[in-house]
């Protein structure tokens, strides 16, 4: 296939909620299926591994010092991912075997921050099976702050993939103009936006970013319904008591560099959404507008980005 063309797979799937082993199995199966259909990049939704913290809005998540919130948080932490412990190794190995790159939303229990706090992270694994960036969500949104910590700028990075330069952000980070600008300035022309799952999130911002950046924008969302809660979930009865039947209805979609739909938001359908995109469309649309190039004024406005990985200690032995 021409280096101008890239076949992408949007993995609109549900997790096996808060069960990291079974969710990893589902991710591996999806990558296998995508490879069989010629996908060179496979994208999964925000926090898919092991799942979005839906309980916060359903069980009085802001109540102070309650047993239910502490026990659910501990269950979440136990099913979150420590990259340093090799918990993504199977996925990396499969990427190398299938010559596939992957963007994967995880909940990371970051060892370099002590190993107890949780970060909503977007991991990029290249086609050689190497983890090239781990972007920890800069600002968890509203009730997410009750279980996720703030990330840093280390993951504001882009990656070459054939002729494309790909970068990504988590959920409402996509509304942060300076975070988007950081990626534009690094040459991004294929923007990945991952979401927990709702067309209310994807239907406007996907086309907006595409038109602003003159890039392809791929939004990938997860699904979540009552049936996706394992029966052994702590406090399941309490969670389901207040939960709608559908908690996340998808909304995965693709907008082209002109801001028009290539694939409109897909709702309530589990599986791969596959499309081949053409790099030349980026060059066509950059002719009249390029936010980091000929239509920028760095002599007037300029962004400073701190990509240092933040840690509480700096050890000097």
Q: Could you confirm whether 120 is annotated as catalytic?
A: no
**CB burial of residue 119 (10 Å; 0-12, 13-18, 19+):** buried
Name the catalytic one among 20, 171, 212, 285: 171
Residue 73 CB neighbour total at 10 angstroms: 17
Strand order from edge to edge, sheet including 131-136: 131-136, 118-125, 101-109, 41-44, 5-12, 271-278
As a whole number of angstroms, the distance between CA 257 and CA 214 comes to 4
Q: Could you confirm whether 128 is annotated as catalytic?
A: no
Give the chain's largest Cα–Cα span: 59
Two tokens, residue 309: 């990985």
Name the catalytic one among 20, 26, 98, 137: 137
As a whole number of angstroms, the distance between CA 189 and CA 224 comes to 30
Closest-CA residue to 251 (of 193, 202, 204): 202
Name the catalytic one among 26, 40, 46, 199: 46
Query: Taking the mean position of all CA atoms in its chain, how far away is CA 21?
Result: 19
Helix axis angle, 199-213 relative to 177-185, nearest 10°?
A: 40
- Beta carbons of 131 and 98 less than 8 angstroms apart: no
Q: Could you confirm whether 227 is annotated as catalytic?
A: no
- Active site positions, annotated: 46, 137, 171
């Amino acid at each position: 296939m021409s280096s101008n063309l890239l076949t992408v797979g949007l993995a609109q799937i549900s997790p096996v909620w808060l069960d990291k082993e079974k969710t990893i199995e589902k991710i591996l199966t999806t990558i296998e299926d995508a490879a069989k259909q010629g996908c060179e990049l496979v994208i999964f939704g925000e926090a898919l591994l092991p799942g979005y913290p839906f309980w916060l809005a359903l069980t009085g998540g802001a109540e102070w010092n309650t047993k239910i919130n502490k026990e659910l948080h501990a269950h979440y932490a136990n099913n979150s991912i420590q990259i340093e412990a090799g918990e993504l190794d199977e996925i990396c190995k499969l990427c190398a075997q299938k010559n596939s790159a992957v963007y994967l939303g995880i909940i990371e229990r970051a060892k370099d921050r002590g190993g107890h706090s949780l970060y909503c992270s977007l991991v990029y694994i290249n086609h050689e099976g190497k983890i090239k960036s781990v972007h920890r969500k800069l600002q968890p949104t509203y009730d997410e702050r009750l279980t996720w910590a703030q990330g840093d700028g280390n993951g504001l990075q882009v990656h070459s993939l054939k002729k494309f330069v790909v970068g990504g952000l988590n959920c409402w980070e996509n509304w942060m103009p300076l975070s988007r600008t950081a990626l534009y300035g690094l040459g991004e022309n294929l923007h990945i936006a991952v979401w927990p799952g709702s067309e209310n999130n994807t239907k406007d911002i996907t086309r907006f970013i595409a038109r602003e950046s003159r890039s392809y924008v791929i939004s990938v969302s997860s699904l979540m319904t009552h049936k996706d809660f394992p029966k052994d979930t702590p406090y399941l009865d309490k969670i389901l008591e207040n939960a709608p039947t559908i908690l996340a209805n998808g909304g995965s979609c693709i907008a082209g560099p002109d801001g028009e739909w290539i694939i409109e938001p897909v709702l309530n359908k589990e599986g791969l959404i596959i499309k081949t995109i053409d790099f030349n469309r980026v060059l066509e649309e950059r002719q009249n507008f390029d936010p980091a190039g000929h239509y920028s004024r760095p002599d007037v406005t300029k962004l400073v980005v701190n990509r240092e990985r933040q840690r509480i200690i700096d050890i000097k032995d």
